[in-house]
Copies of this chain bind each other. A is one copy, B any other.
Amino acid sequence: MSKNNKGLLIVLSGPSGCGKGTMVAELLKRGDCAVSVSATTRQPREGEIDGTHYYFLSKEEFQQRIDNDGLLEYAEYCGNYYGTPRAEVDRLRAEGKHVILEIEVQGALQVKKRCPEAILVFTVPPTVSELSRRLHKRGTETDEVIEKRIAQFQKELPFVPEYDYVILNDALEDAVADFASVIRLELMRPAYVDLSHLEEKK
């Protein structure tokens, strides 16, 4: 029933501790979704494979990608560049895969600018204290880092109106279902539904 065989482009943002990883992992099980491999100028760590974990580029190669509008979004972090290659996303979508990008707000807004049909989803915790509780429970970060993450999340809140959907992650299972519903509903857009077989035979 789909006339537009091109997959969707979905951007997922939100603080750590809101189940983004699980939401993406659950969708990847379906077979019609994919994540794209990012490009970076940082050195490969032991065991990291070019084209699997990242596309490892020199600074010159990365700059060339920027100049050729070959990145849907990019950012500098600790002296290295990270970005999403447009060609990679286009290739997956042309195969009919719904591409999911898990990126922060500034990157998400860059994607929307370069690719207006992108669907932006922001996931939020029920409360700040619950977010704090979840981050502490993971036990991977110091109190100071957790404070910073919460402050960062609160700085991102004013950008939520630029998103298409907000998923409240109260129960992880519901958040996963909501994320799947976004895809289901976006595929009910007229551009995605082939009605040609219903037309009058000439």
Contacts and interface: CB of A to CB of B under 8 A. Distances in A.
Contacts of A168: 1, 193
A164 B190 CA distance: 7
A27 B162 CA distance: 30
Interface stretch (A63-71, A107-115, A194-202): A194-202
Given A154-B199, A181-B185, A198-B154, A190 B127 contact: no
Given A154-B199, A154-B200, A189 B165 contact: yes
Q: How large is the interface on A (under 10, 10 to 19, 20 to 34, 35 or more residues)?
A: 20 to 34
Interface of A: 1, 122, 124-125, 127-128, 151, 153-154, 157, 160-168, 178, 181-182, 184-185, 188-191, 193, 195, 197-200
Given A125-B198, A154-B199, A162-B190, 19 more contacts: A124-B195, A127-B197, A128-B197, A157-B198, A157-B199, A160-B190, A160-B193, A161-B191, A163-B190, A164-B189, A165-B185, A165-B188, A165-B190, A166-B190, A166-B193, A166-B195, A178-B188, A182-B188, A185-B185
